[in-house]
A and B are shown apart, each in its own frame.
Chain A
């Protein structure tokens, strides 16, 4: 009698833990899918921002020094897969230095086509800010799920690489950024 009860309990425990494990694995899978989508969105937002920056640089509405600065920052951001966070932050800083000039908008919108370009660039920059926020949210959730003992013990994440946060300076608003340039190496004229 007791043996039958024991077997029933055992089967019930096995069945329940099976359900739980598969629920966990399914959740992790959904998190990975969300992460992948967020990563594509972030990539697209970054590419769009550098493309619009490059277009502004070659539009002829800026002076040549500003144009060269923006063009090279946009190019570096687009073509630096290894040091991408650094290069994208540099593009932000270049944009901030250009947009931060007193009266920049007012002087520029007087020129043909500049208004649309500027709005598009500001829109693209804001899109980067949002996409990065969502991506990092997804990374945090995924990392947390992967850290649980069951996920680790049963390797529920499979071969998917551990996701990493994407940390860049993406604020076009110059508030509170005084220190961000000061702590970079100054190597101007040597």
Chain B
């Protein structure tokens, strides 16, 4: 099958949608399909052989923050040429409501179009203003996929209709082996955290409070944190006596992310809400790190109710500390949870997820013929 995939966000900036597109494309290529991805990227950027550049992404204010998007004449011309050259059986656009390449591709093409929705966007009045423009492009989509329930309800609210739920995939193999960071995990035990430090919903403050309780009892226990945010602000929340045991890596590369997950005895996801899918959990589980996580619906589901990781009461540092202590003191339990996790993550491997996506392609194929350029 000839498959054209559109990524609306800058290929060179790490992000959930970009990760999703590359994971899916690579899995489909491995199945033997012909896949081409178009994404915004600098013309001199080094891209995988299956990625075509739609030109540089332009930082522009959108929805209260600055987004790096591709739009305008050049983007339209490049999308058209890509569609024409690709002669695709199916066109798969990601995040079609974002004002970028996906929307342009929907508008410019006709034929079997599948769309995947990633983010849960609150129904804003701003979108009313753009609704007619959006509608004429989006009504061409014949198969819709949502990566999580929250994204699905966004779709229902914005566009009506429904979507198939297919979660994010992970390339499990990429996480399986890595060299721990120098000096880790060490003798006294290490707890790991991955995510934005300044985003309250990621729950780092709960973990820091829990760590203070644990550190008082365990003189060599360390906390390893990777993610964006202000280091001083984080350290200010830790009692002075324990500060030198908190190691902040800042924003890390994909490679160091995996190494970091291999450097911890216990991985903690203290999120307090707003998490539609436990991507970070699946990454930790794929690395074989025993997981302690908040008892959120999404997390409980990924951890199979506690079989593949320990749950604690959301937002409760005492309960977090108790759960982490239990794992630190019991290597047998850690091994059991890691084993349960490595079974559970198989469901999220791209080789499995991509098959579900292919079924959606198949479902829209017979009705409409090939993808053609209409504008």
Residues on A facing B (Cβ under 8 Å): 54, 57-58, 63-69, 71-76, 79, 90, 93-94, 97-98, 101-104, 107, 181-182, 184-190
Bound complex: CA A6 to CA B152 (Å): 89
Bound form: Cα–Cα A103–B77 in Å: 13
Query: Does the CB pair A65–B18 fall under 8 Å?
Result: no
Q: Closest approach, in angstroms, between the C-beta of A90 and any C-beta of chain B? A: 4
Enumerate chain B residues within 8 angstroms of A104, measured Cβ to Cβ: 72-73
Say whether B65 faces chain A, with CB atoms less than 8 Å apart.
yes
Given known contacts A71-B126, A185-B65, what 12 new A-B pairs fall within 8 Å (CB)?
A: A64-B99, A67-B133, A68-B134, A93-B61, A94-B60, A181-B66, A184-B61, A185-B66, A188-B10, A188-B68, A189-B16, A189-B17
Query: A65, B69: Cβ atoms under 8 Å?
Result: yes
Given A67-B130, A68-B134, CB of A190 within 8 Å of CB of B16? yes
**A187 nearest in chain B by CB position:** B65
Within 8 A of A (CB), among B13-71: 13-18, 58-71
Q: Would you give the shortest CB distance from A89 to chain B, in whole angstroms?
A: 8
Contact check, A103 vs B73: say whether CB atoms are below 8 A apart: yes
> Which of these, A66, A72, A186, contacts B59 with CB under 8 Å?
A186
Per DSSP, chain A at the interface is helix
For the complex formed, measure the closest distance between the CB of B63 and the CB atoms of chain A, giving whole angstroms.
Answer: 7
Chain A residues positioned under 8 Å from B10 (CB to CB)? 188-189
Given contacts A71-B126, A188-B15, A65 and B75 within 8 Å (CB-CB): yes
**B residues contacting the other copy or chain, number (CB 8 A):** 48
B129 an interface residue at 8 Å Cβ cutoff? yes
Q: Mark B118-135, 1 if CB is under 8 A from A, else 0.
A: 000000111111101110
**Does A72 lie within 8 Å of B71, measured CB to CB?**
no
Do the beta carbons of A72 and B127 come within 8 Å of each other? Answer: yes
What B residues does A97 contact at CB under 8 A? 58-60
Bound CA span A68–B64, Å: 14
Query: In the complex the two chains form, is A69's CB within 8 Å of B62's CB?
Result: yes
A-B contact pairs, 21 of them (CB 8 A): A58-B133, A63-B75, A64-B103, A64-B107, A64-B134, A65-B69, A67-B99, A68-B103, A68-B130, A69-B60, A71-B126, A71-B133, A72-B62, A75-B128, A94-B62, A107-B73, A182-B59, A188-B9, A188-B15, A188-B65, A190-B196
Most buried by A among B18, B59, B71: B71
Q: How far is the CB of A121 from chain B (nearest CB, A)?
A: 16
B107 near A63 with CB under 8 A, answer yes
A57 touching B126 in the complex, CB below 8 Å, given contacts A69-B69, A186-B66, A188-B9:
no
CB distance from A104 to the nearest CB of B (A): 7
B71 and A69 within 8 A (CB): yes
B95 smallest CB distance to A (angstroms): 9
